[in-house]
C-alpha cells in the first residue's frame, strides 16, 4: 500500500487517467445519422434525422438516442452500460429492454440487445481512426420477426 504523498500522487494519476479515458473515448460526443452512406432498406430504421449522444465515463457509457421510427413516431432511447458484458436496462425502446456492451478495443464495441431475454440484435460499432465516423453494422429481427442487416453510418458533430 502506498502511503503519504506517493499514495496521493498515485491516486491522482489513476483518477486523471480514468477521466482522460472518458474525455478521449472516441465514442464520446454527438453523432448524426448519414442516410446517404447508410444501408437501411428492409430494416426497421427510418432515414429521418437520428442523433446519438454518448457520454463516456471510466468504463461505461451513457447513451441518448433521438430519432423517428419507420411509422413517424418519435423515439427517445436511454441507457447506461458498462463495457464488460454486463446487461443494462434500456428505456424508451419498444424493440429491446436490455443491452450488453463488450469493448473489443478502443475503437470497437460489440453490442447485443434483448427483449424479455430473447436476442433482438447484434452489432459491431466502430469509430474511424480519425474519430469522425461511427459505423454500426447490425443484424437483428424486427418486431414482425423478419431478419434484417443494417449499416448505420454516423458523422461526428
Between 157 and 68, the more confident residue is: 157
pLDDT digits (tens, 9 = 90+) for 86-136: 999 999 998 899 999 999 999 999 999 999 999 999 999 999 999 999 999
Give the chain's domains with CATH numbers: 4-156 (2.40.128.20)
What distance in Å separates the CA atoms of residue 100 and residue 102, rounded to the nearest whole number? 7
Contact present, 49 and 76 (Cβ < 8 Å): no
Mean pLDDT of 40-45: 85
> Whole-structure pTM over 0.75, yes or no?
yes
107-47-78-140 Cα dihedral, nearest 10 degrees: -70
Amino acid at each position: 500500500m502506498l502511503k503519504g504523498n506517493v499514495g496521493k500522487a498515485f491516486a491522482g494519476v489513476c483518477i486523471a487517467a480514468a477521466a482522460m479515458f472518458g474525455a478521449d473515448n472516441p465514442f464520446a460526443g454527438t453523432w448524426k445519422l448519414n442516410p446517404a452512406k447508410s444501408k437501411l432498406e428492409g430494416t426497421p430504421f427510418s432515414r429521418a434525422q437520428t442523433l446519438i449522444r454518448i457520454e463516456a465515463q471510466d468504463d461505461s457509457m451513457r447513451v441518448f438516442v433521438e430519432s423517428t421510427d419507420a411509422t413517424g413516431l418519435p423515439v427517445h432511447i436511454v441507457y447506461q452500460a458498462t463495457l464488460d458484458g454486463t446487461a443494462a436496462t434500456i428505456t424508451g425502446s419498444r424493440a429491446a429492454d436490455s443491452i450488453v456492451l463488450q469493448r473489443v478495443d478502443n475503437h470497437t464495441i460489440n453490442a447485443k440487445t434483448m427483449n424479455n431475454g430473447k436476442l433482438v440484435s447484434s452489432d459491431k460499432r466502430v469509430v474511424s481512426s480519425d474519430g469522425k465516423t461511427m459505423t454500426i453494422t447490425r443484424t437483428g429481427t424486427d418486431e414482425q420477426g423478419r431478419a434484417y442487416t443494417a449499416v448505420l453510418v454516423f458523422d461526428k458533430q
